[in-house]
């Protein structure tokens, strides 16, 4: 299979999905073509969280907030099973499931004055579901905050050349926000200048990396970056959206589109061979089953519950016109699917161009008879899972080098690409967690939780605890320890997609009450519900007797899920009876 053909097939599928399917959903179910509808950003404008925003700027915020490291890491790991299963799940999952989920969560939140999906669930299902939803989301976001902070910190340590461009990006974003909202400068010129500045400082950072070799305040370089990142995300989450969040995400989206464009061009110039088989041989007893593991490994690249939190947490409060929801919600997920597509190409084809690497078990410079690069990189499931996004960085860097970009700069560009989107997700998740804690306080009538400073502290402190608390590593036979956040991370994929299924359940009930055809919502809901339920059940069985913490959490999630589904079924029967 030609790598060019895979890319063109993917783009064609995404284009047709946006052109036709999103229009069908928008008109027949979501009813977004009402010119008299007043969005919450206008009705409740406060200049901090609620702010009418042009659709292109909001698209940049939404897209970069959902496009963290997960749509890069997931496909890179899932390439272990071959290119065809990953490609099919990314394409069909994005167009018929993930984009519909994101679009629906955004529309429902906008129609309900910017309320979160958890809050909406209380009025259309039951108050018990709202509380369960909030608990589910709180645990999930704390885990996201902890792990993303650790991942970014590790990347800063291993890629010191990325430190300067990532931090300069913050200053540039503040400058753009000031020019846009205080000086009424049109966004085009400042954004072009910003992109040039970012690439200049990428080159600068390549030759002047910032390494922390000595402890700071008694903290190792990794732990220092973790604390610094949480301080930054806390401040960023409290600032008005126009000051940092919007402009930073907007210029980040430019950076990603340029990066994807260069990778796309690199595929046509280098024309790398697709070394991976269409489907890996499953005869090896050590090869894990494709179902359900592949479908929860590629989570954010196909469908993700976290996206619904962004849609109903920040984007719905900034949407200027409800008709823009199609571009922001559905189009944003198409963008993320494109990122997952290129991550797959890098892992199954770009990797063939690599001639040198210092990754363990992947010394390509050493001649290995009858072994392709892909076979060396994906020789075992443990190596594929452990190497994470390195296939994207290595393969993507080689595609950029085929365009004449120097090796060091190509590597920096790929590293900055990964870090900048992970960092964007970090500060957006902190803001979302503040909103969720506000709602949690309202649900339990705890007034102090409505204070934005107290809510922000509650948002970050448990995440810091998860990042710094070391527990026995269940994957190691020795007495080694690992951060609690990383130990708990294996349940993220399944629980994240389970949140998507439950969100689709709420959206389905919402439009069922309005007598709409909800089949396009129910089918993906049932598919994702089955996948994630089986995954969590397998996880519970596997961890029983091996890791009591993961067993207890997996079992608790299963009980919580069953309870919420039962509540949803009861509500559907009530609605059907009254029709």
Over residues 6-23, the pLDDT tens digits come to: 999 999 999 999 999 999
Over residues 194-232, the pLDDT tens digits come to: 888 989 999 999 999 998 888 888 889 999 999 999 999
Over residues 503-551, the pLDDT tens digits come to: 999 999 999 999 999 999 999 999 999 999 999 898 888 888 777 777 8
Average per-residue pLDDT for the chain: 88
CA distance 115 to 314: 10
CA distance 220 to 534: 40
- Nearest residue to 32 via CA among 325, 307, 317, 333: 325
pLDDT over threshold 60, residue 482: yes
pLDDT over threshold 90, residue 114: yes
Query: pLDDT confidence of 368, banded at 50, 70, 90?
Result: low
* pLDDT for res 106: 97
Query: pLDDT confidence of 359, banded at 50, 70, 90?
Result: low
Query: pLDDT confidence of 489, banded at 50, 70, 90?
Result: confident
For the ranges 93-97, 98-102, 260-264, 359-363, the lowest mean pLDDT is seen at: 359-363
Q: Which residue has the higher pLDDT, 166 or 103?
A: 103
Sign of CA dihedral 123, 127, 129, 131: positive
Query: pLDDT confidence of 356, banded at 50, 70, 90?
Result: low
Mean pLDDT of 284-307: 88
Query: pLDDT confidence of 370, banded at 50, 70, 90?
Result: low
Structure tokens at 556: 């608790």
Percent of the chain predicted with pLDDT > 70: 96
Q: How many CB atoms lie within 10 A of CB 562?
A: 11
| Domain locations in the chain as residue ranges | 3-465
Strand partners, 53: 319
pLDDT over threshold 80, residue 388: no
Contact criterion met (CB below 8 Å) for 424 and 252: yes
User: String of b and e for 2-35 (b: at least 16 CB within 10 Å)?
Assistant: ebbebbeebeebbeebbeebbeebbeebbebeee
Is residue 292 reached through a cis peptide bond, with omega within 30 degrees of 0 on the bond before it? yes
For the ranges 131-135, 333-337, 341-345, the lowest mean pLDDT is seen at: 131-135
pLDDT over threshold 90, residue 391: no
């Amino acid at each position: 299979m030609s790598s060019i053909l895979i890319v063109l097939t993917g783009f064609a599928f995404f284009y047709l999905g946006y052109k036709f399917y999103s229009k069908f959903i928008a008109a027949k179910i979501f009813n977004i073509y009402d010119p008299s509808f007043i969005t919450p950003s206008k009705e409740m404008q406060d200049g901090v969280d609620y702010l009418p925003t042009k659709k292109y700027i909001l698209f940049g915020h939404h897209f970069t907030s959902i496009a963290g490291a997960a749509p890069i890491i997931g496909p890179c790991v899932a390439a272990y099973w071959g290119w065809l299963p990953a490609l099919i799940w990314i394409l069909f999952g994005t167009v018929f499931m993930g984009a519909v989920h994101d679009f629906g969560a955004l529309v429902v939140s906008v129609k309900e004055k910017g309320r979160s999906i958890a809050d909406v669930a209380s009025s259309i299902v039951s108050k018990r579901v709202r509380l369960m939803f909030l608990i589910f989301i709180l645990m999930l976001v704390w885990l996201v905050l902890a792990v993303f902070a650790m991942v970014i910190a590790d990347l800063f340590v291993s890629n010191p050349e990325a430190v300067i461009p990532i931090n300069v990006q913050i200053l540039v974003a503040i400058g753009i926000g000031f020019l846009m909202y205080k000086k009424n400068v049109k966004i085009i010129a400042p954004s072009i200048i910003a992109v040039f500045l970012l690439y200049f400082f990428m080159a600068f950072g390549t030759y002047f990396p910032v390494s922390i070799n000595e402890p700071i305040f008694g903290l190792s370089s990794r732990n220092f970056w973790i604390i610094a990142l949480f301080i930054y995300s806390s401040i960023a989450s409290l600032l008005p959206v126009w000051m940092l969040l919007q402009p930073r995400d907007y210029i980040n989206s430019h950076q990603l589109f340029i990066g994807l464009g260069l990778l796309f061009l690199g595929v046509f110039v280098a024309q790398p061979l697709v070394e991976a088989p269409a489907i890996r041989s499953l005869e090896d007893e050590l090869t894990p089953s494709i179902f359900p593991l592949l479908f929860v490994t590629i989570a954010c690249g196909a469908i993700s519950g976290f996206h619904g939190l962004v849609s109903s947490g920040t984007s719905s409060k900034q949407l200027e016109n409800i008709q823009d929801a199609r571009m922001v919600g559905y189009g944003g997920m198409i963008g993320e699917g494109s990122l997952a597509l290129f991550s797959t190409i890098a892992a199954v084809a770009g990797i063939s161009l690599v001639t040198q690497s210092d990754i363990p078990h992947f010394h390509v410079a050493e001649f290995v008879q009858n072994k392709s690069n892909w076979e060396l990189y994906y020789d075992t499931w443990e190596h594929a899972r452990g190497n994470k996004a390195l296939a994207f960085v290595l393969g993507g860097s080689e595609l950029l080098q085929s365009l004449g970009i120097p090796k060091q700069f190509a590597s920096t560009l790929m590293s900055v690409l990964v870090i900048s989107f992970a960092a964007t997700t970090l500060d957006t998740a902190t803001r979302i967690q503040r909103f969720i804690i506000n709602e949690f306080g309202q649900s339990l009538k705890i007034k102090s939780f409505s204070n934005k400073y107290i809510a922000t502290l509650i948002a970050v402190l448990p995440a810091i605890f998860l990042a710094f608390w070391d527990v026995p590593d269940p994957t190691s036979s020795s007495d080694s320890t690992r951060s609690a956040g990383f130990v708990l991370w294996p349940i993220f994929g399944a629980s994240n997609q389970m949140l998507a299924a439950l969100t689709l359940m709420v959206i389905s009930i919402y439009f069922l009450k309005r007598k709409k055809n909800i089949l396009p919502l129910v089918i993906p809901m049932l598919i994702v519900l089955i996948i994630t339920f089986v995954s969590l059940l397998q996880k519970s069985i596997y961890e029983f007797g091996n890791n009591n913490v993961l067993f207890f959490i997996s079992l608790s999630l299963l009980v919580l899920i069953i309870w919420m589904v039962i509540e949803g079924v009861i509500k559907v029967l009530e609605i059907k009876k009254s029709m």
